[in-house]
Amino acid sequence: MQQQQQQQQQSVNQGHVMTEPPTVVTTKDHLYINDMLSWNLLAMKKAHAFASQCSDQQISQALEQAGRMHYDHYQKILGHLQTQGQQGTIQ
């Protein structure tokens, strides 16, 4: 496992792009994923709250659409995590 991480680091240092994700989620990765989920949920909630307070129908609809986009991103991230978790690659 350490060898794989070293190879990936060498690839990055040489300007190569990683073709597949690492098999281990580090603490830093976990914290970033958690932040992404939180940011998307917060953006969705704020967009919905602002849309409900908006008197202009077009702006309200645009805010609701933005909220749905953030919710979709949240669901997509969760889907990736669940798929990877079922395959047993997240540790």
Query: Which residue ranges make up each domain of the chain?
Result: 24-87
Residues 85 and 67: their CA atoms lie apart, in Å, by 27
pLDDT of residue 91: 44
Average pLDDT along the chain, 91 residues, taken 10 residues at a time? 59 70 83 94 97 96 97 92 63 44
Q: Print burial letters for 29-38: b (CB count within 10 Å at least 16), e (below 16).
A: eeeebeeeee
pLDDT of residue 87: 59
Q: Residues near 48 by Cβ (< 8 Å), separated by ≥ 6? A: 63, 64, 67
pTM of the full predicted structure?
0.65
DSSP per-residue string spanning the chain: -HHHHHHHHHHHHTTPPPSS--SS--HHHHHHHHHHHHHHHHHHHHHHHHHHH---HHHHHHHHHHHHHHHHHHHHHHHHHHHHHHHT---
